[in-house]
């Protein structure tokens, strides 16, 4: 760091991903402290905004997962207060948080994404569940993935292999959001690509191949040590890795992201990457793909965090 910087790391919140956020925030704070950065770690609550006005931190890092940190509201308020922060701005965060919108924007930029339909809870009820489900299954085909239109860490996500399972999957998704995204499942290799930009342009870091032992990269597989095998670099041909870098960078730009993000893909049997979603504040726990990617690429984690803070402050 070129000068002492007061950083406020926000972690916790009230989303379903609170525990993951607390772990991520602690690791970010530890990494910054190791590089001589003055760090305060706190949980957001009703006193946060007044505390921000009073203390005026140089940089805020909202290491918040789920709606409390990734729906754009908090970052919009930080913009109103004129405070610098690590991560994409409120508008870009809001676009990425909405999975159907993100898919549309990325597809318009030339990045392939699986065919899908978004169904609201009201439409599901008013148009008749059975007729809706039969239409979706007929036109999208099986297998499918059903996920809440908003959210992270695979919470509320179901993998559907039969029409009988589709109804249960919809109900499960609706417990997390009022709209559900039904997407044709791409069978292949799941890969995450981390993008970092510390002021000299976005760089795609070595992709991480994900092989959950259960067969599905669900919440438990993401955050239970030993439940998933990771390969960096992925066991894919070089031309596929180059395509992943290019497509991830294109998606990052299409959504207007900055500083740090993770872009998730499925690579089919022909080696074609399919965009799934983007996270504007990826998990930073010891089992998170972003941390694994940075380690594999030889980055010092604390140095990267310090550089992100410096970029946000500039």
Q: Residue 2 above 50 pLDDT?
A: no
- Contact in structure between 44 and 75 (CB atoms under 8 Å): no
| 238, two tokens | 């070089």
Phi-psi region of 160 (alpha: psi -120 to 50; beta: other; left: phi over 0): beta
Task: Identify the CATH number of the domain defined by range 6-88.
Answer: 3.40.50.20
**Maximum CA extent, the chain:** 63
Residue 1: per-residue pLDDT: 43
223: confidence class by pLDDT, cuts 50, 70, 90: low
- Provide CB contacts within 8 A for 30, sequence distance 6+: 302
Provide mean pLDDT across the span 25-45: 95
3-state secondary structure of 25: helix
Residue 187 in this model has a pLDDT that exceeds 80: yes
Report which of 181, 152, 189 is spatially closest to residue 265, judged by C-alpha positions: 189
Confidence category of residue 151, pLDDT binned at 50, 70, 90 = confident
More confident residue, 285 or 8: 8
Q: Is residue 120 classed as helix, strand or coil in its secondary structure?
A: strand
As assigned by CATH, the class of the 95-112+187-298 domain is alpha beta
| Residue 98 DSSP one-character state | B
pLDDT value at residue 32: 96
Q: Which residue has the tokens 């690429």?
A: 297
Q: What are the residue ranges spanned by the domains of the chain?
A: 6-88, 95-112+187-298, 116-184
Residue 295 pLDDT:
94
Average pLDDT, the chain: 92
7 pLDDT above the threshold of 90: yes
| Secondary structure letter of residue 280 according to DSSP | S
More confident residue, 70 or 84: 84
CATH 3.30.1490.20 fits 116-184, yes or no: yes
């Amino acid at each position: 760091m070129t000068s002492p910087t007061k950083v406020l790391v926000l972690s916790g919140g009230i989303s379903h991903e609170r525990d993951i956020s607390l772990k991520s925030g602690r690791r970010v704070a530890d990494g910054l402290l190791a590089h001589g950065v003055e760090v305060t770690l706190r949980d957001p609550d009703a006193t946060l905004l007044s505390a921000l006005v009073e203390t005026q931190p140089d940089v805020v890092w909202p290491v918040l997962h789920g709606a409390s940190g990734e729906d754009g509201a908090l970052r919009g308020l930080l913009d109103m207060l004129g405070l610098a922060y690590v991560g994409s701005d409120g508008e870009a965060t809001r676009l990425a948080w909405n999975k159907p919108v993100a898919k549309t924007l990325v597809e318009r930029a030339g990045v392939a994404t699986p065919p899908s339909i978004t169904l609201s809870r009201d439409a599901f009820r008013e148009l008749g569940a059975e007729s809706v489900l039969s239409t979706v299954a007929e036109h999208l085909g099986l297998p499918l993935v059903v996920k809440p239109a908003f959210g992270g860490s695979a919470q509320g996500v179901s993998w559907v292999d039969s029409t009988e399972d589709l109804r249960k999957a919809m109900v499960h998704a609706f417990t997390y959001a009022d709209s559900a995204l039904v997407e044709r499942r791409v069978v292949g290799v799941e890969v995450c690509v981390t993008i970092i930009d510390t002021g000299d342009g976005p760089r795609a870091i070595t992709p991480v191949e994900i092989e959950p032992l259960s067969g599905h990269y669900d919440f438990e597989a993401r955050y239970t040590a030993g439940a998933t095998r990771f390969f960096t670099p992925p066991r894919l041909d070089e031309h596929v890795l180059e395509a992943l870098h290019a497509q991830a960078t294109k998606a990052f730009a299409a959504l207007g992201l900055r500083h740090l993000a993770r872009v998730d893909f499925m690579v089919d049997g022909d080696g074609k990457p399919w965009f799934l979603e983007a996270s504007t504040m990826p998990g930073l726990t010891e089992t998170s793909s972003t941390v694994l990617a940075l380690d594999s690429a030889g980055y010092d984690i604390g140095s990267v965090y310090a550089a992100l803070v410096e970029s946000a402050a500039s």
